[in-house]
């Protein structure tokens, strides 16, 4: 599996980033371990989680697996922002919540440092200066190696970049946004900002939560439990536009279209990725174009790592 530099940093991450949002929820501990093992055996080193995923259970599963792996060979990413308790300061991007959150994540992950610490969403109640200066302190303390951001709008991201530059604080090195063939708002403002400022991009839901995997077909009813009415109507319109094998379209867009920019690589998530690994073996984690068709079946993109284009 190839590696890429994350943004303009010197950090090399595998082209596939294993997203662990379903660990401890749809994916039990045994299956999670199997996915992590297969991912690393195939050459992957980039694992993404968050404190809010299964209310900390995802981090705990990754942390209980880490002693069976080589920690220094891995890039562990997690996030902070959303509610982790009922207290008034158990949510947000205040200094208090971030400092409490990073200590809790370190404890659950069973490690003394986090490679990539990301703010999960904008917090309109907390001054951005408070958030950024706190993150800068975490990098200086050695508890965090790099910082990133998720789900910011264009103006929010640019303001954060400019404030960090003005104050000499550690900058965000990457953005984790919603991006797929159906959700392409990223291309309007965020993508140009990231290209101009040198941020890597790690898109989430590149197959739109399963919409582009092929399990939903035009003219066929979706499972009653899987979609709300508004989602169902939107899906029908989307599939009507795509019609044939939308999962092929989206995967090729991610792998080939993204590579034209020299920056997009793709990743498997745990749920359908586990089925795919069982059916086809761990060699199908790779991304070489000659074997794309074989890898498409049953594959689910869990998160996509966008870096500055250099590979090895």
If one compares 125 and 247, the residue with the highest pLDDT of the two is 125
If one compares 24 and 215, the residue with the highest pLDDT of the two is 24
Sequence-distant (6+) residues with CB within 8 A of 1 are: 14, 15, 16, 42, 43, 44, 285, 286, 287
Tell me, yes or no, whether 308 lies in a domain: no
Which residues are known catalytic residues? 53
Check residue 89 and give its pLDDT: 92
In whole angstroms, give the CA distance from residue 33 to residue 23.
9
Residue 87 structural domain: 3-210+249-296
Tell me, yes or no, whether 80 lies in a domain: yes
DSSP alpha helix (H) spans, 110-189: 128-141, 154-167
Check residue 234 and give its pLDDT: 65
In whole angstroms, give the CA distance from residue 48 to residue 28.
17
SS3 290: helix
**What confidence tens digit (pLDDT) does each residue in 9-60 have?**
999 999 889 999 999 999 999 999 999 999 999 999 999 999 999 999 999 9
Percentage of residues in the chain with pLDDT exceeding 90? Answer: 60
In whole angstroms, give the CA distance from residue 300 to residue 274.
9
- The CATH number that applies at residue 206 is 3.20.20.100
Tell me, yes or no, whether 257 lies in a domain: yes
**What confidence tens digit (pLDDT) does each residue in 135-147 have?**
999 999 999 999 9
- 275 confidence band (pLDDT: 50, 70, 90): very low
- 182 confidence band (pLDDT: 50, 70, 90): confident
Check residue 237 and give its pLDDT: 66
Pick the closest to residue 28 from 20, 19, 37 (CA basis): 20
Number of domains in the chain: 1
Tell me, yes or no, whether 275 lies in a domain: yes
- Encoded tokens for 220: 């066929």
Distance between the two ends of the chain, CA-based, in angstroms?
Answer: 9
Q: Residues 135, 172: contact at Cβ < 8 Å?
A: no
- 252 confidence band (pLDDT: 50, 70, 90): very low
Residue 246 vs residues 207, 210, 235, 238: alpha-carbon distances, Å: 9, 11, 12, 10
Task: Give yes or no for residue 218 having a pLDDT over 90.
Answer: no
In whole angstroms, give the CA distance from residue 58 to residue 53.
6
Task: Give yes or no for residue 108 having a pLDDT over 60.
Answer: yes
Tell me, yes or no, whether 173 lies in a domain: yes
Tell me, yes or no, whether 184 lies in a domain: yes
Beta bridge partners of 201: 175, 306
Tell me, yes or no, whether 217 lies in a domain: no
**136 CB neighbour count, 10 Å cutoff:** 18
Check residue 200 and give its pLDDT: 95
Tell me, yes or no, whether 267 lies in a domain: yes
């Amino acid at each position: 599996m190839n590696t890429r530099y994350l943004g303009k940093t010197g950090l090399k991450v595998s082209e596939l980033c294993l997203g662990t949002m379903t660990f401890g929820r749809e994916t039990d501990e045994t299956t999670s371990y199997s996915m992590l093992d297969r991912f690393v055996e195939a050459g992957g080193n980039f694992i993404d989680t968050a404190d809010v995923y299964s209310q900390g259970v995802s981090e705990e599963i990754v942390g209980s697996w880490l002693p069976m792996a080589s920690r220094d060979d891995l890039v562990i990413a997690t996030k902070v922002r959303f509610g982790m308790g009922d207290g008034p300061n158990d949510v947000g991007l205040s200094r208090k919540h971030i400092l409490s959150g990073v200590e809790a994540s370190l404890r659950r992950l069973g490690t003394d440092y986090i490679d990539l610490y990301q703010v999960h969403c904008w917090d309109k109640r907390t001054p951005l200066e408070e958030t950024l200066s706190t993150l800068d302190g975490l990098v200086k303390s050695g508890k965090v190696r790099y910082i990133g951001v998720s789900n910011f709008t264009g103006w929010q991201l640019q303001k954060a970049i400019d404030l960090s530059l003005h104050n000499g604080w550690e900058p965000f090195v990457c953005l984790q946004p919603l991006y797929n063939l159906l959700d392409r708002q990223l291309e309007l403002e965020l993508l140009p900002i990231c290209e101009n400022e040198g941020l890597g991009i790690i898109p989430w839901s590149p197959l739109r939560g399963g919409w582009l995997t092929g399990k939903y077909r035009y003219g066929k009813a979706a499972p009653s439990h899987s979609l709300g009415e508004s989602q169902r109507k939107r899906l029908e319109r989307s599939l009507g536009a795509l019609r044939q094998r939308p999962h092929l379209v989206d995967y090729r867009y991610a792998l080939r279209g993204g590579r034209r920019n020299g920056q997009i690589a793709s990743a498997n998530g745990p749920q359908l990725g586990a089925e795919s690994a069982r059916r086809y073996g761990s060699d199908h984690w790779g991304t070489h174009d000659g074997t794309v068709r074989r890898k498409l079946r049953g594959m689910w993109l869990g998160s996509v790592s966008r870096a500055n284009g250099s590979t090895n």
